[in-house]
Structure 1
Amino acid sequence: MIRFSRSSCAALAAAALITSTAGVSSASPQASATRLDGSRPAWAVPAHRVAPSRDGAAVDFKVQLEWRNPAAAARYAAAAASQGTATSGAFLTPAQFRERFAPSRSDVASVTSWLRSQGFQVRSVPANRKYVEATGTVRQAARAFRTSFSTYRVQGMRLRANDTALRVPASLRHVQAVTGLDQSEALVHSDSVLPAVFRNARPCSKYWGEKTVANTPTPDGTALPARPSAFAPCGYAGKQLQGAYGLAGTIASGVDGSGVTVAVVDAYASSTVLSDLNTYSARNGLPTMQPGQFREIVPPGVYRRPANPQHDPAGWSGEETLDVEAVHTMAPGAKIIYAGAPNNRQDMNATLNMLVDKHLADIVTNSYGFSTEALPPGYIKSTNDILIQAAATGISMFFSSGDGGDHTGGDPANAAAATPDWPASSPWVTAVGGTSLGVTANDTRLFELGWETGRSALDKTATTPTWTAPTFQYGSGGGTSRLFAQPDYQKGVVPAEISQKYGSTPMRAVPDVSAVGDPTTGMLVGQTQRFPDGSAQYSEYRIGGTSLSSPLYAGMFALVVQKAGHRFGLANPALYAARATTYDITKADLATYPGAVRVDYVNGFDGSEGYTYTARWFDFDNGLTIHVRPQYDDVTGIGSPEGTAWLDAVAGYRG
């Protein structure tokens, strides 16, 4: 996963508080042109410049238009999600939202006409008129937007960016941003710990503590230290996860997500996902998908590059499989839509916009993000607009909180800076953090701790088995936003030491809630993988990341929607109101359950080349600025679901 820098956060904070826009500023001395403030990426600094961009290189980009009266749209979305307001639960239809808040057709026509006059080819405009998509060359873009373009070196990649702020004709007064000319969106990552090819090595346990260092020998006779004593689970599945969150009986009784549609957004598509899902379900006590219960879609009108992908080399097909199987585990009766963007760059936002504007789902779970808020403000604002439309029209949006802890490090301007993930830091989403979970032989929760992993290798030079000093490996993303003011639902809940971390103004904190994400105690998933001998084989293996946490929680929230009999829009007001019924994750069980021993194949799929042994220590927050504590914390939020009490309390909000 990419750990990207977040320079210029202070400038972003001034430009993008919750109700502000990153819109246009008439700072240009030329009366005919308006500068788009913040349109030059923070990472495009002279020290990182490699060379000028090729003039003939192709660019595809979107001219983003702001909502008409964006503050009113935000107020409506917030009121509809809250109880006790005049519009509580009165969600708009897509047509009603467009009528009130979408950019006007005349504004779209003006942008389209100007783009064509500059030699660009106009590709598409979505029904909500949020953007105008166009294509051309770097040379055309430099001339039209009055800038130049260079290639910059960023986190091992060579990315294009404009060297100065973009400018547009002053007559295009509703232009909010231009996305895609710079390649900030290439820094997106999926929030899963996903190997290319992987099988669980033995020993691993069916449930917590089944196999221990004391009762089970290693396959090659390697002696291990006595602590931690438990071998990692092979991966929890089916009723194990339903039972751990106290929902197995509820699901068996028919509150299983029926009548609710959950959408998953990722990039590309897996050609075997449905067959894998059905095989996995049959093996793990879940119902197989019924006709019409699952479908894959790609948004119309999106410029496809590459042309017709089936599998992405980076493993996005595995991400899709994980997300779909996680939703189905917790909501086996729900319909699932997989929306696959044709690339893992700018068209992921187009895919999200399509889902929202067509209102194809009641709940959307997203297992991707940026390890920073230091993105061009216009990019952040245009995405935030989509999230506001989702909330106003009754769609509950979940995002994984990231897998890099507090994301400190990697910022060329400020190596000590910490930041939550974007879009998890948006106040219009439910950010889902990760936990480490112990499940008993009877499918109940034994413990749940904050997911921050310390990794120790076996010290083979010691005379007795010893683990090396642990180092941070990965963990639940969280922290305090530098962009967004504290939303109402966090007031009186998030302690001041978190919300006022960067000053006297309380700010948005991440995450909101949590569920299992630790790969050491993760979920068993089933996927057709291509092995080194060229064969394609279905196999099951343990996986984690907050891209597990988010779809699991979204599945559980589908039970809430079914039980309540209505949509929720932004879920956070209801979730925070019901926080007394959540499982408060603390450090209380850490002394008893300090971690687990993980056994892995050296080559990832069999023991022919040997084994590796590591200790994975739970809640290892050494050096992090985020910590688990009672009540709200910036690793696990308000906690994880606590069975029927949680279900009844959340479903009863606005009841």
Structure 2
Amino acid sequence: MAIAGATALASVGAAGAHAAPANGRSTLTGSQAPWATSAHKVGSAHGAEKVTFRVYLPNKADASSYALAVSTPGNALYGKFLTPAQYRKKFSPTAGQVSAVSSWLKSQGAHVGSVPGNNKYVEATTTVSNAAKMFHTGFAEYSFQGHRLRANTTPLSVPTSAGAVEAVIGLDESATLARANVVPAPPVFKNAQPCSAYWGEKTVANTATPDGTTLPSSPSTFAPCGYAGAQLQGAYGMSGPIASGNDGSGVTVGVIDAYASPTMKQDLETYSAKHGLPKPNLKEVVPPGTYNRAVNKKQDPQGWAGEEALDLEAVHTMAPGANLVYIGAPNNYRDLDAIMNKVVDKHLADVVSNSYGYGGEALPKGYIKPQLDTQMQAAAEGISLFFSSGDDGDETGGVAGATPTPDWPASSPYVTAVGGTSLGVSQTNSRIFELGWQTGKSTLKDGAWTPPQPGTYMYGAGGGTSRLFAQPAYQKGVVPNSISQVYGGPAMRTVPDVAALADPTTGMLVGQTQLFPDGHSDYSEYRIGGTSLASPLFAGMWALAVQNHGAYGLANPTLYGASAASNDITKDQRAAYPGTIRVDYVNGVDAADGYSYTARSFDDDEPLTIHVRQGYDDVTGVGSPAGTAWLDAVTK
């Protein structure tokens, strides 16, 4: 559900502007969550509850033009990236701005915490009831997207004596809507047999089911067990470059997730040894208390551990020579934006993959603007940011009349949104087919697939047209008007930009220490997917380009300029490869409770508003990397 009425980049850019002062106070526009309506209100907030929030300060100069200029080939500023210190001097808030806000916070009885090196925010802690007094508002709890969330009941205001304030993040619980774009998320999962080592290895004709179940003849192929190592390198034409030393050496790829797995280092080393990858060079930047967090209504460390394993193993597969840095936020409900700011302001990586997002653009505009500032700083410093486009298509669920929307932050014009595909890899590690990831599901019932194929829409790559951001220059002339102007009016930013493997039915084999039902923990491998897979796969391949070219900043101007060298994902192969058979354990672990049999259709877009088509489309963008031709095109 998108924010109504926000139809241009300027509307978000102005989110931190003060409304006309009244009684010595300024109202922060865009500071009220669009879901905090009377219809969603379910109760009062707990006034005594402690809340940690961040008061974001506006930059002393607008960085948007510079961020795009240094990232755009042909511009006079192209490649003239700034160090973090240079960026701070040119754009960041001043020490005086920090002092004014800090003084006001202390005068109100709030405890003032950290301030990052770029002075972007002042962190503070107080009670909910005191926050209501400080910001002249009230707080209540609301029901939204299955969550019970706290939010302010009216827009926030601050005294003019506090100086300029861009936004306040953390008083409402919008950040709780962040989710990992991974399908499925553990606690524990094991592949069931039969599954194929490569596309087409095991079929209904040559392989019996383990329990004697008779299957229809179509589809005829059992799903892959999960691709790994040389299979994925070969499918995207990267085997030759990697073997010749173009393996990401000298490039640092960062992965940002919530929490951290205490066994990640050993799991990644085990996985690498099993799949012919060199020993990884991994650095973990994890705040105290991030490991082994207790689970409460806002926390899911176990699920995010699977995300971390997938992300790091995917990057290492496609860029086996790159340095890896994992940055774990201490939670998934408050601090992901602060962690991103840290990564950018300390320049911890050259390329960053982010496999999380929000189900749509229904966030306060004041929540979005500070993140845009961080993304602009990344581009200005030469850092390329990749975000998964989401796993729920256009967020309508195929329901007629529902409002379609892309996900945030994928919809930002300052990041590269990575959509998803279904992939067939041959016995010789070549790409047989690649289709848009949009899965239809049919279940075996009385010897037939029910409902008939393509079945019922299940999940697929996120995409669509933003209601927040105007069309960026790099999409002009590439994105059809039928997509960018789908709402009427001016052309808007569309998602995704590019694509890679995401379909969990043709997914990647991932290794992770899992806790099994009998209480023992063990390293185990299983197939997994989601655009959480596509983003780190693409980020890894981008590291190969960075090794050859040097820093890019925002990748999109280069990627759109080289779109002719990408694999254009179309429907041409759908007739030959309509789908596959997936076999799963009913209990997810072993055969004790039997098996389930489903047919999974490829490119089932019938109930959605986003579709695969020739050229740019809102499921796969300009397509996936096409080996050395793509590397040559993006590095020339």
| TM-score for both structures, normalised by structure 1 | 0.94
Q: 1:353 Cα deviation (Å)? A: 0.5
Distance in 1 (CA, whole Å) between partners of 2:398 and 2:505 is: 26
The amino acid across from 2:206 in the alignment is: N
The amino acid across from 1:453 in the alignment is: T
Residues 607-655 of structure 1: CA deviation (Å, up to 9, x unaligned): 0110000000000001100000000000000000001000011011xxx
Report what 2:309 is aligned to: 321
Where structure 2 has 5 or more consecutive residues not aligned to the other structure, the ranges are: none
Residues 139-180 of structure 1: CA deviation (Å, up to 9, x unaligned): 110000001100111222211000111110123342011010
Distance in 2 (CA, whole Å) between partners of 1:113 and 1:21 is: 25
Shift of the 497–519 alpha-carbon distance from structure 1 to 2, 3 Å rule, reads same
Q: 1:356 Cα deviation (Å)? A: 0.2
Within 5 Å, give how 1:18-37 maps onto structure 2. Answer: 20-27=13-20, 30-37=22-29
Match of 1:428 among 402, 414, 437: 414
Distance in 2 (CA, whole Å) between partners of 1:451 and 1:348 is: 27
Report what 2:318 is aligned to: 330
Query: Residues 40 and 144 of structure 2 are in contact (CA less than 8 Å); yes or no, is this contact kept in structure 1?
Result: yes
Report what 1:405 is aligned to: 393
Distance in 2 (CA, whole Å) between partners of 1:617 and 1:515 is: 18
Query: Residues 115 and 122 of structure 1 are in contact (CA less than 8 Å); yes or no, is this contact kept in structure 2?
Result: yes
Match of 2:172 among 182, 207, 212: 182
Query: Residues 409 and 418 of structure 1 are in contact (CA less than 8 Å); yes or no, is this contact kept in structure 2?
Result: no
The amino acid across from 2:603 in the alignment is: D
The amino acid across from 1:638 in the alignment is: V
Distance in 2 (CA, whole Å) between partners of 1:21 and 1:269 is: 35
Matched, 1:605 2:589: yes
Query: Residues 191 and 400 of structure 1 are in contact (CA less than 8 Å); yes or no, is this contact kept in structure 2?
Result: yes
Report what 2:142 is aligned to: 152
Report what 2:367 is aligned to: 379
Query: Residues 432 and 553 of structure 1 are in contact (CA less than 8 Å); yes or no, is this contact kept in structure 2?
Result: yes
Report what 1:494 is aligned to: 479
Matched, 1:17 2:10: yes
Distance in 1 (CA, whole Å) between partners of 2:71 and 2:294 is: 38
Matched, 1:547 2:532: yes
Report what 1:649 is aligned to: 633
Q: 1:224 Cα deviation (Å)? A: 0.9
Query: Residues 269 and 316 of structure 1 are in contact (CA less than 8 Å); yes or no, is this contact kept in structure 2?
Result: yes
Matched, 1:389 2:377: yes
Distance in 1 (CA, whole Å) between partners of 2:290 and 2:238 is: 42
Report what 1:594 is aligned to: 578
Match of 1:615 among 581, 599, 607: 599
Within 5 Å, give how 1:353-364 maps onto structure 2. Answer: 353-364=341-352
Report what 2:39 is aligned to: 47
**What is the aligned-residue identity percentage?**
60
Match of 1:240 among 222, 231, 234: 231
Query: Residues 41 and 140 of structure 2 are in contact (CA less than 8 Å); yes or no, is this contact kept in structure 1?
Result: yes
Distance in 2 (CA, whole Å) between partners of 1:418 and 1:528 is: 37
Residues 275-307 of structure 1: CA deviation (Å, up to 9, x unaligned): 111111111111122xxx21110358xxx6899
SS in 1 for 2:359: coil
Report what 2:82 is aligned to: 92
Query: Residues 293 and 301 of structure 2 are in contact (CA less than 8 Å); yes or no, is this contact kept in structure 1?
Result: no
Residues 383-433 of structure 1: CA deviation (Å, up to 9, x unaligned): 11100000000000000000000012699xx96211101000001101000
Distance in 1 (CA, whole Å) between partners of 2:83 and 2:629 is: 32
Report what 1:418 is aligned to: 404
Match of 2:339 among 327, 334, 351: 351
Distance in 2 (CA, whole Å) between partners of 1:650 and 1:101 is: 29
Match of 1:66 among 52, 58, 72: 58
| TM-score for both structures, normalised by structure 2 | 0.97
Cα RMSD of the aligned pairs, angstroms, is 1.7
Q: 1:195 Cα deviation (Å)? A: 3.1
Report what 2:513 is aligned to: 528
User: Which piece of structure 1 moves more, 546-555 or 345-354?
Assistant: 345-354
The amino acid across from 1:136 in the alignment is: T
Distance in 2 (CA, whole Å) between partners of 1:382 and 1:547 is: 24
Matched, 1:446 2:471: no
Q: 1:314 Cα deviation (Å)? A: 4.8
Query: Residues 261 and 291 of structure 2 are in contact (CA less than 8 Å); yes or no, is this contact kept in structure 1?
Result: no
Shift of the 332–246 alpha-carbon distance from structure 1 to 2, 3 Å rule, reads same
Distance in 2 (CA, whole Å) between partners of 1:494 and 1:24 is: 32
User: Which piece of structure 1 moves more, 527-536 or 80-89?
Assistant: 80-89
The amino acid across from 1:12 in the alignment is: A
Residues 498-537 of structure 1: CA deviation (Å, up to 9, x unaligned): 0011122111010000000000000001000000111001
Shift of the 526–532 alpha-carbon distance from structure 1 to 2, 3 Å rule, reads same
User: Which piece of structure 1 moves more, 607-616 or 305-314?
Assistant: 305-314
Matched, 1:118 2:108: yes
Q: 1:27 Cα deviation (Å)? A: 4.1
Shift of the 67–307 alpha-carbon distance from structure 1 to 2, 3 Å rule, reads farther
Query: Residues 398 and 608 of structure 2 are in contact (CA less than 8 Å); yes or no, is this contact kept in structure 1?
Result: no
SS in 2 for 1:524: strand
Match of 2:450 among 467, 470, 494: 467
Distance in 1 (CA, whole Å) between partners of 2:180 and 2:293 is: 21
The amino acid across from 1:148 in the alignment is: G
Within 5 Å, give how 1:156-175 maps onto structure 2. Answer: 156-175=146-165
Match of 1:572 among 556, 564, 567: 556
Report what 1:339 is aligned to: 327
Within 5 Å, give how 1:195-210 maps onto structure 2. Answer: 195-210=186-201
The amino acid across from 1:254 in the alignment is: G
Match of 2:499 among 480, 495, 514: 514
SS in 2 for 1:315: helix
Distance in 2 (CA, whole Å) between partners of 1:308 and 1:156 is: 22
Query: Residues 299 and 354 of structure 1 are in contact (CA less than 8 Å); yes or no, is this contact kept in structure 2?
Result: no
Matched, 1:253 2:236: no
Distance in 2 (CA, whole Å) between partners of 1:405 and 1:466 is: 23
Query: Residues 528 and 538 of structure 1 are in contact (CA less than 8 Å); yes or no, is this contact kept in structure 2?
Result: yes
Alignment length (residue pairs): 630
Where structure 1 has 5 or more consecutive residues not aligned to the other structure, the ranges are: none
The amino acid across from 2:13 in the alignment is: S
Match of 1:295 among 258, 277, 283: 283
Shift of the 608–549 alpha-carbon distance from structure 1 to 2, 3 Å rule, reads same
Distance in 2 (CA, whole Å) between partners of 1:183 and 1:89 is: 38
Distance in 1 (CA, whole Å) between partners of 2:79 and 2:162 is: 35
Q: 1:606 Cα deviation (Å)? A: 0.4
Distance in 2 (CA, whole Å) between partners of 1:614 and 1:83 is: 47
Query: Residues 398 and 607 of structure 2 are in contact (CA less than 8 Å); yes or no, is this contact kept in structure 1?
Result: no
The amino acid across from 1:649 in the alignment is: A
Structure 1 segments, 4+ long, off by >6 Å, are: 304-307
Shift of the 467–227 alpha-carbon distance from structure 1 to 2, 3 Å rule, reads farther
Matched, 1:560 2:553: no
Within 5 Å, give how 1:130-145 maps onto structure 2. Answer: 130-145=120-135
